[in-house]
Amino acid sequence: MQWKPWIAWLALLAMGCQQPTSSGTAAPKLTNQLIAAKLDTLPILQQDPAYQELAKKYTVAKIELSKRLKKEFDEGKLSKEEAGAKFLAEQDKLNKVWMKNTNDFIQTRHAKLRAAVKEMCEEKGIDMVLIDSEVYHTVAYGAFDITQDVLMKIYSSPAGGTPTPGGTPK
- Of 5-19, 43-57, 100-114, the one with minimum mean pLDDT is 5-19
Cα angle 101, 106, 110; round to 5: 155
State the pLDDT at residue 43.
Answer: 83
Q: What percent of the chain stands above pLDDT 90?
A: 19
State the pLDDT at residue 105.
Answer: 87
Distance CA 34, CA 31 (A): 8
State the pLDDT at residue 99.
Answer: 93
Domains of the chain in start order, with CATH, are 34-156 (3.30.910)
Distance CA 32, CA 37 (A): 16
SS (H, E, C) 85-124: HHHHHHHHHHHHHHHHHHHHHHHHHHHHHHHHHHHHHHHH
* Alpha-carbon dihedral angle through residues 135, 140, 144, 147, given to the nearest 10 degrees: -10
CB atoms within 10 A of CB 27: 14
- pLDDT above 50 for 23: no
**Residue pLDDT, tens place only, 54-89:** 999 999 999 999 999 899 889 999 888 888 899 999
